Amino acid sequence: MLRDAGTREPVDPRDALTIARIVRVNHAGEFGAIRIYSAQIAVARWFWPDCVAALTEMRRHERTHCAMFRAAMSSRRSRPCRVMQLWSWGGWLLGLVTALLGRQGIWACTAAVEATVHRHLDDQLHFLCDRDAELHGIVLSIRAEEIAHLHHAEEQLRAPGRGVRLLRTIIAIATDGLIWLSTWGDSQRMAWALKSAKS
């Protein structure tokens, strides 16, 4: 395990484990996002065709991100998440249900997931900055597209009502839970490290 592509300096074993988990959970999360968008697109083609182009573009981004994290696994002794089926079927079900709720359901889902992902990516960037330069660059490169997804979704949620706010909260909590499960709590360790650095 190398600190970055240009050095041979080894990474602390505990840090190497966290880095492997970052790659694993990001790969799983991107796969889950693909499943969410795929289900939403299937429904939107019938009921909300004006949403299809944006959802298709977002899914294209997520497919690229997923491939990048998959490619980063082997050199970090990582492997696909053991709860991939939860990401897969949970993502599909979430996409289906929120699309059936209408445009506001679709964009509430995107906003909730992307806001949660954005927070975790910031934690990861802080953790990786002096531990794995290559992975730090990968995470940084996808962050702009994830933020663009969040901003687009929030623009569609004009004056969201109580139901939309509740839906966003539920989805955010579920996403946090899956991230925690997929990293065996390392996401919380990174959050604590970021909080300490800001203090």
Q: Which of 34, 22, 40 is nearest to 59 (CA)?
A: 34
Residue 119 lies in a domain: yes
In this structure, is the dihedral angle defined by the CA atoms of residues 197, 130, 145 and 94, taken in order, positive or negative?
negative
Tell me what pLDDT residue 129 has.
86
pLDDT single digits (tens) 34-58: 999 999 999 999 999 999 999 999 9
Instruction: Provide the token pair at 172.
Output: 């955010």
| Residue whose tokens read 């970052």 | 22
Residue 1 lies in a domain: no
Residue 7 lies in a domain: no
Averaged pLDDT score across all residues of the chain = 85
Residue 4 lies in a domain: no
Of 133-137, 141-145, 161-165, minimum mean pLDDT range: 161-165
Distance CA 97, CA 119 (A): 24
Give 2's strand partners.
10
Burial zone of 63 (CB within 10 Å; 0-12 exposed, 13-18 middle, 19+ buried): middle
Residue 164 lies in a domain: yes
What CATH number is given to the structural domain containing 110?
A: 1.20.1260
Residue 179 lies in a domain: yes
Residue 158 lies in a domain: yes
Q: What is the number of structural domains in the chain?
A: 1
pLDDT single digits (tens) 185-194: 666 666 666 5
Structural domain of 167: 13-198
Residue 60 lies in a domain: yes
pTM equals 0.85
Distance CA 21, CA 73 (A): 10
Q: Average of pLDDT values for 137-159?
A: 89
Tell me what pLDDT residue 75 has.
92
Distance CA 147, CA 154 (A): 11
Give percent above pLDDT 70 in the chain.
Answer: 85
Residues 6+ apart with CB under 8 A from 39: 91, 92, 93, 94, 95, 96, 99
